[in-house]
Amino acid sequence: MRRKNPEEGHTVGLALHFLRRDAGLTLRQLSAATGSTPSSLSRYEKGHQMPRLDTLRRIVAGLDLTMPDLLRAQQTVMHLPEASDEDGTLPPDTRGPLPQAGMSRKAALHLAQEAGKAVAHCCLAFMEIQAGGWRLPSGAGNGRAHAGRSAAGERHEVASLGEGHPGA
């Protein structure tokens, strides 16, 4: 298909390439999901050929994405420095979280803060385990850790996750 703007083919192709790599698919896997040949997909990704709209919709569906996702990827690749297209990943999504229906922005922010605290507590617990502060009792298969007790029953001093932090 002849196109009026060669840059458009390059932008669409680069966006398709990043989206496919981000989805962890090979050209053959995407080919099986879309019905397009791997060589056609490669030509689209390299900007050598522009897919028809119905083909583009099949490719986007094969990536389990929507056309707005493709548009966002195109806008992203238009702002990438030239060297960035080598690593094959998209930059992180910088859009804010969308609140659930009926949820206020304040409630969504509070939920995000609480989720962040929970993740921080999990990270601290794993760090304590790595430091040897928490041990599983020998023969314990119940998955419960006991703070400060080694397998032999020795007592170790372990700082609590929320110690010295009100409201933690």
> What is the percent of the chain with per-residue pLDDT over 90, rounded to a whole number?
21
Same domain, 12 and 50: yes
Q: Is residue 93 part of a domain?
A: no
Same domain, 111 and 73: no
CATH number of the domain where residue 73 is located: 1.10.260.40
Confidence of residue 34 (pLDDT cuts 50, 70, 90): very high
Q: For residue 86, what pLDDT is reported?
A: 52
Mean local confidence (pLDDT), 1-20: 78
Higher-confidence residue: 117 or 165?
117
118: pLDDT strictly greater than 80: yes
Range of the domain at 112: 102-168
End-to-end CA distance of the chain: give it in Å, rounded: 61
pLDDT digits (tens, 9 = 90+) for 38-66: 999 999 999 888 999 999 999 999 999 99
Higher-confidence residue: 125 or 31?
31
Q: What is the mean pLDDT of the chain?
A: 74
pTM: 0.47
Same domain, 13 and 71: yes
Q: Is residue 67 part of a domain?
A: yes
Q: For residue 116, what pLDDT is reported?
A: 86
Confidence of residue 153 (pLDDT cuts 50, 70, 90): very low
Domain count, the chain: 2
Q: Is residue 97 part of a domain?
A: no
Q: Is residue 147 part of a domain?
A: yes
Mean local confidence (pLDDT), 110-119: 85
Dihedral angle computed from the Cα positions of residues 21, 23, 25 and 29, in that order, rounded to the nearest 10 degrees: -140
Out of 21, 53, 86, pick the residue that ends a domain: 86
Q: Is residue 47 part of a domain?
A: yes
